[in-house]
């Protein structure tokens, strides 16, 4: 009886483990088909990396079953990981080529950084909330994502030592275009950034630099957590 109970427990445990893994793969596949391919994500490389990066590893444990849902999810510290479609859309717009230097502002969970690294970019990512940045760094190391450099700080200032960047992705909503980031955009570079008032709807905006001139194009209305500045935070005693 005791042995049988143990055996049953072991079997159930093994089945639940195997089941959980199969489920995530299946959930990820449906996410790609129903939320990305069925909409306007056509870049085969972007679709490939959206299939390969395990999104459930980047959300809070309790939210794992919903990791592949068509929605943003909490990642702690009042911040969120963007909805899969928005991640794929912003990635497709940037069109990152292997070896390109990419700057991300707002590391959050590290999911978007992992996607950019899988595309072969040399990724530099900045997070203002220390605990999130440190966790993302650990997670990206554990999952063996290469070429991702994580820094804790105010992304408003960019990463001057690593500039210029071929692509810049801002994953927090800014009230206006940060000038320093424009300066750090390489000739022929692309930047995607949500711009608009805090608390309201923002416009996802594509900035391109060519022959020293900047062009700005509004892409779609989006909601994003706010881009915060170091000066917004109360001084530490």
Q: Which residues sit at the interface with ligand SAH, rule CB under 6 A? A: 75, 79-82, 105-106, 108-109, 111-112, 126-129, 132, 154-156, 171-172, 225, 227-229
Catalytic residues: 82
Smallest gap from Cβ 107 to ligand SAH, in A, equals 6
Report, in Å, the least distance between residue 109 CB and ligand SAH.
4
Cβ closest to ligand SAH, residue 219 vs residue 228:
228
Per the CB < 8 A criterion, the answer to whether 90 and 168 are in contact is: no
Nearer to ligand SAH, 73 or 207 (CB): 73
Residue placing its CB nearer to ligand SAH in the complex, 114 or 207: 114
Which letter, b or e, does each residue of 54-80 get, where b requires 16 or more Cβ atoms within 10 Å of its Cβ?
A: ebbbbbeeeebeebbeeebbebeeebb
Smallest gap from residue 86 Cβ to ligand SAH (A): 10
- What Å distances lie between residue 127 and 66, 97, 158, 216, 237, CA to CA? 24, 23, 11, 25, 22
Q: Give whichever of 156 and 165 is closer to ligand SAH, judged by the CB atom.
A: 156
Grouping H, G, I as helix, E, B as strand and the rest as coil, residue 114 is helix
> Distance between CA atoms of 113 and 110, rounded to whole angstroms?
5
Give the residues across from 148 on adjacent strands: 123
H or E element in which residue 64 lies: none
Q: Residue 10 CB, nearest distance to ligand SAH (Å)?
A: 36
DSSP characters over 183-198? HTEEEEEEEEEEES-T
Distance of CA 153 to the CA centre of its chain: 17
Q: How far is the CB of 233 from ligand SAH (least distance, A)?
A: 10
> Element (H or E) spanning 3, and its range?
helix 2-30
**Which CB sits closer to ligand SAH, 45 or 152?**
152
Residue pair 212/203 in contact (Cβ under 8 Å)? The answer is no
């Amino acid at each position: 009886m005791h042995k049988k109970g143990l055996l049953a427990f072991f079997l159930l445990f093994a089945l639940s483990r195997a089941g959980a893994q199969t489920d995530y793969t299946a959930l990820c596949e449906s996410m790609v088909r129903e939320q990305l391919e069925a909409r306007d994500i056509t870049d085969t490389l972007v679709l490939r990396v959206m299939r390969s990066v395990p999104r459930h590893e980047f959300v809070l444990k309790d939210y794992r079953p919903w990791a592949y849902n068509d929605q943003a999810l909490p990642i702690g510290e009042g911040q969120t990981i963007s909805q899969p479609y928005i991640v794929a859309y912003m990635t497709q717009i940037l069109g990152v080529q292997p070896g390109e230097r990419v700057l991300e502002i707002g590391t959050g969970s590290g999911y978007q950084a992992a996607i950019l690294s899988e595309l072969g970019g040399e990724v530099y990512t900045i997070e203002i909330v220390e605990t999130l940045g440190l966790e993302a760094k650990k997670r990206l190391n554990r999952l063996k994502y290469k070429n991702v450099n994580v820094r804790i700080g105010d992304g408003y200032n960019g990463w001057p030592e690593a500039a210029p960047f071929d692509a810049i992705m801002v994953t927090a909503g800014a009230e206006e275009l940060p000038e320093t980031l424009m300066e750090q955009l390489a000739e022929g570079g692309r930047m995607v950034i949500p711009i608009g008032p805090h608390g309201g709807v923002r416009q996802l905006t594509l900035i391109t630099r060519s022959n020293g001139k900047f062009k700005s194009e509004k892409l779609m209305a989006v909601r994003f957590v706010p881009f915060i500045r170091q000066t917004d935070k109360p001084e530490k005693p």
